[in-house]
């Protein structure tokens, strides 16, 4: 929390180069358009979970809704208040609500089988907790795959004092991915054919083009390497625009959801990625974006033109349009298979041109863990070694820099790849965003406005490997699926270092419930406080965690189908 006389607050205000925020001005929540999300404010709430008919694609199908809405209403609270939310389950199956990123008692966290039993059909559950933070968060079901079918919504927690980020306009932009396919059928399809949506496999034409550009030997080596891995460099998204319709605030791009402004006003956009499986790259052509908060926590302002937002992350940005033009808020999927958008405009009915999708990116061997060193496991099942890759420098075996791996990965059919020399890659904007001519946000650009509440050096390190088998569509930590994994046990009050090594070709947003993750920079210094940490393929990310919340907590990938496929652990904080 920032106090009016806090020097950090003054530093933040100086960093907002577009002008001083209008302190205490109530944001214009209801002035955008008739489609502005419903806002429920106060401290006592009744939420009804049900199936409701929706028509997103031209076909009417059932969705999981909150109070009949898709997405659910914005819940607007105030820091320091105690809230009570009675959730009634009208579904024919058990359900739940998890308050993503909130610090609260374990039995209020809303994870069936870990923090409570879930909400049975026809029953209700009373959530009660005190708000210990402010910022932009969200809520969603943690039961089966209900989140994919619409059970989610935004949370805005106003600070207890004047908000240094208060603007004349304040809007939620909740991004999501929608499919008419029942979520369980989608998961079953992934188990049968995980490359169903990868419609852009490389062809002979691509081979000839690459051979002219890179040389025949290099091109052959590249194809052999990918063939040995039985993977495709075009496989950036398990599920993409072939299956998904991308939404913003529950609207398609064609529906042109509009947020109003008057020229010269500062507009705060609270981006929430509520997608089940989609990373979005967001920009507003013609406007700079000043990032002022990440995962609800204030950061030193950084001005950029584009940012990538992983599932479950939130970013608050401030823009200041100075003319009477409309602007497109453009959010394209990381694999460029589709997009959604909203419009910023002085009046309803206006719209700006929509930029074309960027070229489809390709994963490189460097993306997989150091230039050809991302290794597939031996296809024969031999548990003594990984396969050699074309062009591999065998001298690396003696360099002392190779990554070690847990014994549980060896000979494991649920592990199809291991990275050899992972690095933090905090200064890398990510595949598809490098050298695109725009200033792109990097993790290294994010610096928390406040120092960590606990600056102790961790007393121990826990290293976990993110693992999977793409063909089998199985996922886990250290090659172990959730159903077979022992809990991670932490002592109450201890400070630990969690090191995450990504042994897969997919990027994973990792979420620890109940506690903050203090991301370290490449030198081990404190960088930024997050509740969800994205780990690119072949990389290594290090976080410090204080075990200051007793109880049982979920720890998982927030790619919903990856969590369902086994990439989840229980963390127990015990006396």
Q: Is 409 helix (H, G, I), strand (E, B) or coil?
A: helix
pLDDT at res. 211 = 64
Strands 124-130, 82-89: pairing is antiparallel
pLDDT at res. 14 = 37
Tell me the mean pLDDT in the region 17-45. Answer: 55
Tell me the mean pLDDT in the region 144-162. Answer: 96
Q: Are 77 and 85 in contact (CB under 8 A)?
A: no
Alpha carbon 194 to chain centroid distance?
Answer: 21
In whole angstroms, what is the distance from residue 120 CA to residue 179 CA?
26
All residues at 6 or more sequence positions from 368 whose CB lies less than 8 Å from its CB, including other chains: 374, 417, 419, 505, 537, 538
In whole angstroms, what is the distance from residue 265 CA to residue 431 CA?
34
pLDDT at res. 370 = 44
- Two structure tokens written together for 69: 């809405």
Q: Which helix (H) or strand (E) holds 247?
A: strand 245-248
Strand partners, 180: none
Strands 297-304, 289-294: pairing is antiparallel
pLDDT band at 23 (very low <50, low <70, confident <90, very high): very low
Q: What percent of the chain is predicted at pLDDT more than 70?
A: 81
Is the model's pLDDT at 74 over the cut of 50? yes
Tell me the mean pLDDT in the region 215-243. Answer: 68
pLDDT in tens, 163-175: 999 999 999 999 9
Q: What percent of the chain is predicted at pLDDT more than 90?
A: 75
Is the model's pLDDT at 70 over the cut of 50? yes
pLDDT band at 2 (very low <50, low <70, confident <90, very high): very low
Worst-scoring range by mean pLDDT, 63-67, 366-370, 458-462? Answer: 366-370
pLDDT band at 198 (very low <50, low <70, confident <90, very high): low
pLDDT at res. 390 = 33
DSSP 8-state secondary structure symbol assigned to residue 229: H
pLDDT band at 5 (very low <50, low <70, confident <90, very high): very low
Q: Are 12 and 301 in contact (CB under 8 A)?
A: yes
Q: Could you tell me which residue, 104 or 197, shows the higher pLDDT?
A: 104
Is the model's pLDDT at 249 over the cut of 90? yes
- Two structure tokens written together for 62: 């059932």
Tell me the mean pLDDT in the region 251-277. Answer: 96
Q: Are 389 and 378 in contact (CB under 8 A)?
A: no
Average pLDDT, the chain: 86
In whole angstroms, what is the distance from residue 276 CA to residue 247 CA?
12
pLDDT in tens, 274-322: 999 999 999 999 999 999 999 999 999 999 999 999 999 999 999 999 9
In whole angstroms, what is the distance from residue 203 CA to residue 221 CA?
16
pLDDT at res. 367 = 72
pLDDT in tens, 375-428: 555 433 333 333 333 333 333 333 336 899 999 999 999 999 899 889 999 999
CA distances in angstroms from 347 to 200, 350, 506, listed in the order given = 40, 6, 41
In whole angstroms, what is the distance from residue 532 CA to residue 534 CA?
7
- Two structure tokens written together for 142: 């943690």
pLDDT at res. 287 = 98
Strand partners, 479: none
In whole angstroms, what is the distance from residue 181 CA to residue 61 CA?
9
CATH fold, domain 7-164, is Immunoglobulin-like (2.60.40)
- Two structure tokens written together for 43: 């401290």
Q: Are 99 and 115 in contact (CB under 8 A)?
A: no
Domain ranges of the chain: 7-164, 363-430+451-575
Tell me the mean pLDDT in the region 477-504. Answer: 97
Q: Are 320 and 286 in contact (CB under 8 A)?
A: no
Q: Residue for token digits 């009915």?
A: 349
Alpha carbon 488 to chain centroid distance?
Answer: 23
pLDDT at res. 376 = 53
Q: Is 322 helix (H, G, I), strand (E, B) or coil?
A: coil
Q: Give the residue from 560, 443, 539, 508 showing the smallest Cα distance to 98.
A: 560
Residue 459 φ then ψ, to 5°: -85, -20
Strands 517-520, 526-530: pairing is antiparallel
pLDDT at res. 365 = 66
pLDDT at res. 395 = 31
- Two structure tokens written together for 48: 């009804």
Q: Is 432 helix (H, G, I), strand (E, B) or coil?
A: coil
pLDDT band at 8 (very low <50, low <70, confident <90, very high): very low
Tell me the mean pLDDT in the region 121-133. Answer: 98
Q: Residue for token digits 């990504």?
A: 502
In whole angstroms, what is the distance from residue 68 CA to residue 14 CA?
43
Homologous superfamily of domain range 363-430+451-575: Cupredoxins -  blue copper proteins (2.60.40.420)
pLDDT in tens, 314-360: 999 999 999 999 999 999 999 999 999 999 999 999 999 999 999 98
Return the number of other C-beta atoms located less than 10 Å from residue 527's C-beta: 24
Strand partners, 140: 98, 152
The dihedral through the CA atoms of 217, 221, 227, 228 has a sign that is positive
């Amino acid at each position: 929390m920032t106090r009016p006389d806090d020097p950090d607050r003054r530093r933040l205000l100086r960093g907002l180069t577009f002008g001083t925020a209008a302190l205490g001005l109530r944001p214009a929540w209801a002035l955008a358009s008739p489609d502005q999300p419903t806002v429920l404010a106060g401290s006592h709430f009744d939420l009804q979970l049900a199936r409701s008919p929706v028509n997103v694609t031209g076909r009417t199908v059932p969705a999981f809704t909150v109070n009949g809405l898709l997405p659910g209403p914005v819940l607007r609270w105030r820091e320091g208040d105690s809230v009570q939310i009675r959730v009634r389950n009208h579904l024919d199956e058990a359900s739940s609500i998890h308050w993503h990123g909130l610090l609260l008692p374990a039995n209020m966290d809303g994870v069936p089988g870990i923090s409570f039993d879930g909400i049975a059909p026809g029953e209700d559950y009373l959530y009660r907790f005190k708000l210990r933070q402010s910022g932009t968060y969200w809520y969603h079901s943690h039961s089966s795959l209900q989140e994919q079918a619409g059970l989610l919504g935004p949370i805005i927690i106003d600070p207890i004092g004047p908000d240094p980020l208060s603007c004349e306009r304040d809007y939620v932009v909740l991004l999501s991915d929608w499919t008419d396919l029942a979520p369980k059928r989608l998961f079953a399809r992934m188990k049968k054919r995980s490359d169903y949506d990868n419609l852009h496999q490389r062809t002979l034409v691509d081979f000839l083009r690459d051979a002219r550009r890179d040389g025949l030997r290099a091109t052959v080596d590249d194809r052999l390497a990918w063939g040995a891995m039985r993977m495709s460099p075009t496989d950036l998204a398990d599920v993409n625009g072939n299956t998904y319709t991308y939404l913003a605030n529950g609207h398609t791009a064609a529906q042109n959801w509009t947020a109003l402004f008057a020229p010269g006003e500062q507009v705060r956009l609270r981006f929430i990625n509520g997608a089940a499986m989609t990373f979005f790259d967001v920009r507003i052509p013609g406007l700079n974006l000043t990032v002022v908060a990440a995962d609800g926590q204030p950061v030193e302002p950084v001005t950029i033109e584009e940012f990538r937002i992983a599932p479950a992350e939130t970013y608050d940005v401030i823009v200041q349009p100075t003319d009477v033009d409309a602007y497109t808020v453009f959010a394209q999927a990381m694999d460029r298979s589709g997009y959604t958008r909203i419009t910023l405009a002085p009046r309803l009915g206006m719209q700006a041109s929509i930029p074309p999708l960027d070229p489809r990116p390709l994963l490189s061997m460097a993306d997989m863990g150091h230039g050809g060193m991302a290794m597939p496991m031996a296809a024969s099942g031999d548990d003594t070694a990984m396969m050699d890759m074309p062009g591999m420098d065998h001298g690396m075996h003696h360099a002392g820099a190779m990554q070690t791996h847990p014994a549980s990965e060896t000979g494991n059919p649920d592990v199809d790849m291991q990275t050899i020399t992972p690095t933090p890659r905090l200064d890398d904007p990510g595949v598809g965003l490098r050298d695109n001519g725009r200033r792109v946000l990097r993790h290294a650009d994010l610096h928390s406005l406040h120092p960590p509440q606990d600056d102790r050096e961790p007393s121990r390190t826990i290293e976990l490997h993110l693992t999977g088998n793409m063909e089998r569509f199985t996922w886990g930590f250290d090659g172990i699926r959730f159903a077979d994994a022992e809990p991670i046990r932490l002592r109450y009050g201890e400070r630990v270092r969690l090191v995450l090594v990504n042994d897969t070709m997919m990027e994973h947003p990792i979420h620890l419930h109940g506690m903050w993750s203090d991301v370290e920079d490449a030198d081990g210094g404190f960088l930024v406080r997050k509740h969800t940490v994205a780990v690119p393929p072949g990389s290594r990310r290090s976080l410090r965690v204080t075990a200051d919340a007793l109880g049982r907590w979920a720890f998982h990938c927030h790619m919903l189908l990856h969590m369902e496929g086994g990439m989840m652990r229980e963390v127990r904080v015990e006396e």
